[in-house]
Amino acid sequence: MFFDSHAHYDDKRFDTDREALLESMQQKKVSYILNAASNTDSSLQGINLAKEYDFVYASVGVHPHDAAEITEETMQVLEEYIKQPKVVAVGEIGLDYYYDYSPRDVQQYWFRRQIQLARDVKKPIIIHMRDATQDTMNIVMEEKAFEVGGVFHCYSGSLEIAKQILQMGMYISIAGPITFKNATKAVEVVKAVPMDRLLIETDAPYLTPAPYRGKRNDSSFIHYTAQKVADIKGISIEEVAKQTMQNTFSLFGIKR
């Protein structure tokens, strides 16, 4: 049984079959799902999914893509949302210089502010980092995000940066791209990161693993990622499922 530590069931690509899909998850060996927010609307939808489904948890936050739309009012909304039941983290937050949908200085400012919110409520953060390694790492250190902990989601960085993340006591989350043929750097990272610091995720509906690359992703595909991690580590998929579930509980302070 798996914990999908990062998925987006608020996404409109699930509008046609969201309920049926979520209700089928237990049979598909997915015990728990964390719905990761992208903006205030999706934060609220995540809160509502967590209310409706016992096995769903939520994070609240605004993705760097939407940073240009954040105002002080947005922060007040997030301050309310973070207090809701089963909201276990602030995220996903961070920096994305690949798309640059929001100006970089604006992304940085609201990344810092959302880390400060997480610190105020003592909840961990879910970090999105794309083509922005050094600025992300600097902000995480300067804002002392490691004091509340967090995870670098869908980690695609170097082994060297992975080691710095581990030194800060934070987690690394592995998603579908680990199953792609060209995933050599990510394989090296998985090899080196101790099992007690790894999470697994789908990032559904995105990042569908092989052999379904290109199709809509959902949490039932997580076993492809888990199997790949098991192969790299030379352990069973059951061991990967068990250890990553414990890690996810522990990072997000979930008691079951």
Provide the binding-site residues for Ni ion, judged by CB under 5 A: 36, 203
State which residue, 21 or 237, has the beta carbon closest to Ni ion: 21
Q: Looking at beta carbons only, is 96 or 143 nearer to Ni ion?
A: 96
Write down the least CB distance from residue 210 to Ni ion, Å: 19
Residue closer to Ni ion, measured from CB, 59 or 74: 59
Rounded to whole angstroms, the Cα distance separating 5 from 152 reads 11
CB atoms within 10 A of CB 43: 29
Task: Tell me whether residue 2 or residue 194 sits nearer to Ni ion (CB atom).
Answer: 2
* Cβ closest to Ni ion, residue 36 vs residue 70: 36
Nearer to Ni ion, 143 or 203 (CB): 203
Tokens standing for residue 160: 């060297």
3-state secondary structure of 70: coil
Q: How far is Cα 134 from Cα 34, in angstroms, rounded to an integer?
A: 27
Pairing outcome for strands 198-200 and 150-152: unpaired
Q: How far is the CB of 125 from Ni ion (least distance, A)?
A: 13
Cα(37)–Cα(129) distance, rounded to whole angstroms? 15
The first and second tokens of residue 121, run together, are 């409520």
Token duo for residue 70: 């954040």
Of 33 and 36, nearer to Ni ion (C-beta) is 36
Least distance to Ni ion from the beta carbon of 92, Å? Answer: 5
Smallest distance, Ni ion to C-beta of residue 69, A: 18
CA atoms of 225 and 212, how far apart (whole Å):
12
Shortest separation between residue 239's beta carbon and Ni ion, angstroms: 26
The nearest distance, CB 9 to Ni ion, in angstroms, is 11
DSSP 250: H
Residue 12, classed as helix, strand or coil, is helix
DSSP letter string, 172-200:
EEE-GGGGSTT-HHHHHHHHHS-GGGEEE
Number of residue whose CB is nearest Ni ion = 203
Closest contact distance (angstroms) between CB of 198 and Ni ion is 17
How does DSSP classify residue 217?
P
